Amino acid sequence: MSDALERDLTASGVRLRLAELGSGPPMVFLHGPFVDHTCWDGLFGEFAQDHRVIAPDLPGFGSSEKPPASRFPYGVSAFAEAVTDLYAGLSLGPAVLVGHSLGGAVALTVAARHPELVSRLVLIDALCYGSSASAYGRLAMLPVLGGLALKQLWGPRRFRAHFEQSLFGPGARVDTARLEHYYSAFNEPAARASALATLRATIDTRDVAAQTPRIQTPTLVLWGRQDRVWPVSFGQRLSREILGARFELLEAGHSPHEEVAGDVLRLIKRFVDEKPRSRR
């Protein structure tokens, strides 16, 4: 995103860093845990040829402010309200909203609560069912060890192993420079505390799942066949529970937009550019 404009904007009382590029119909990209807006590098420039593309660092992540949990609750609802405020601050009309993992749960919530803000919805390996089944979900539930591990014991080697063993598929190429960038943002006390608060606040996903029948926005669900965080059955279930949603399976792990960016780009472009279909 070397050509993108980076600036700060306040949403829900929290200073957010965002990257913005291009002009035209807006697209908003929401990242998952342990990363920031740069995870969308493989898509940003291509979509900016025809769209105004915007990617914020969610509260507590990347270069955004990392307030204590006493000031920002770090649940999906709180993130969704921050994104809604971001829309207002940028004077956005309806936008294509793309979310991965935690960002997918946030995007889903925004679409369910504020359908006027979302022209099309893209959910990539989205948090929706059974967060506690993931390795980092179980870790966060441990009252003492969870905090100790994330706040003190997660050095660069363990951080990299988490990506290699959970967030990427078997055999996926892991960009060392990118992981060093992610770790640099994570490796400060406030960032580690925000990550732990987020994991603990998103263990219970029932509120997210309950909103799926409310979504009327045209929706594309993308899922990695080798996702080691949440199985393909979660993506299939999500696509069934959202009226008229389309489901596409990718040869990737939990982070298809970083592992097979070209395939993700092609599928989203086709979905965004096609004429609206009649709902089933």
Are 168 and 174 spatial neighbours (Cβ–Cβ below 8 Å)?
A: yes
Task: Give pTM, 2 decimals.
Answer: 0.93
pLDDT band at 136 (very low <50, low <70, confident <90, very high): low
pLDDT of residue 199: 87
Calculate the CA 139 to chain-centre distance: 20
Q: Is the separation of the CB atoms in 17 and 57 below 8 Å?
A: yes
Q: Report the pLDDT averaged over residues 136-150.
A: 57
Continuous segment of H or E residues that includes residue 254: none
Given the structure tokens 């967060």, which residue do they identify?
Answer: 131
28: closest CA among 126, 106, 125? 106
Q: Give buried/exposed letters for 22-57 (b at 16+ CB in 10 A, else e).
A: beebbbbbbbbbbbbbbbbbbbbbbbbeebbbbbbb
Burial of 249 (0-12, 13-18, 19+ CB in 10 A): middle
pLDDT digits (tens, 9 = 90+) for 169-215: 998 888 899 999 999 999 998 999 999 899 889 888 999 999 999 99
In this structure, are residues 193 and 151 in contact, taking their beta carbons and an 8 Å threshold? Answer: yes
Given a cut of 80, is residue 38 above it in pLDDT? yes
Judging by beta carbons within 10 Å of its beta carbon (0-12, 13-18, 19+), is residue 235 exposed, middle or buried? buried
How many CB atoms are closer than 10 A to CB 12?
18
Per-residue model confidence as pLDDT tens digits over 149-177:
666 667 888 889 889 988 999 988 888 99
pLDDT at position 72: 97
